Structure 1
Amino acid sequence: MAELPDEDVLVLPPMPLATGRLLEPEDDGPPVRITRLEVVISTEDGGELRIPLVHRHGAWWAP
């Protein structure tokens, strides 16, 4: 694979990407507790990369 410039490489910021522990369902049901949150990256060659986020200090962070 050819070398890519650093500015073109995906970097997740050192900040929370989401907050909260509950998810409201699309119907009228009660909120459900989130147990796992991921960033899903799809590539042009059909590949997929899943990056699980880490729950710390009330927010979801990149590992």
Structure 2
Amino acid sequence: MNAIDPLLKAREVADFMQISIPTLYRRIADGTLPKPVKLGSLSRWSQSEILDAVDAARKRGAAA
């Protein structure tokens, strides 16, 4: 059985990461976070991609 990977809104991603929406878009621009999936005019982020980006950031922080 396949697990469902929810698509998150910008507000949901920002709330999860405890950042503002402008900071969310800055992190996307600098490559720290993945670009959104575009559904027409809507932007959504795969929950698994956001979690992977958080894990990668933690690993970079631990290595420093």
- TM-score, normalization: structure 1? 0.25
Rg (Cα) greater in structure:
1
More helix per residue: 1 or 2?
A: 2
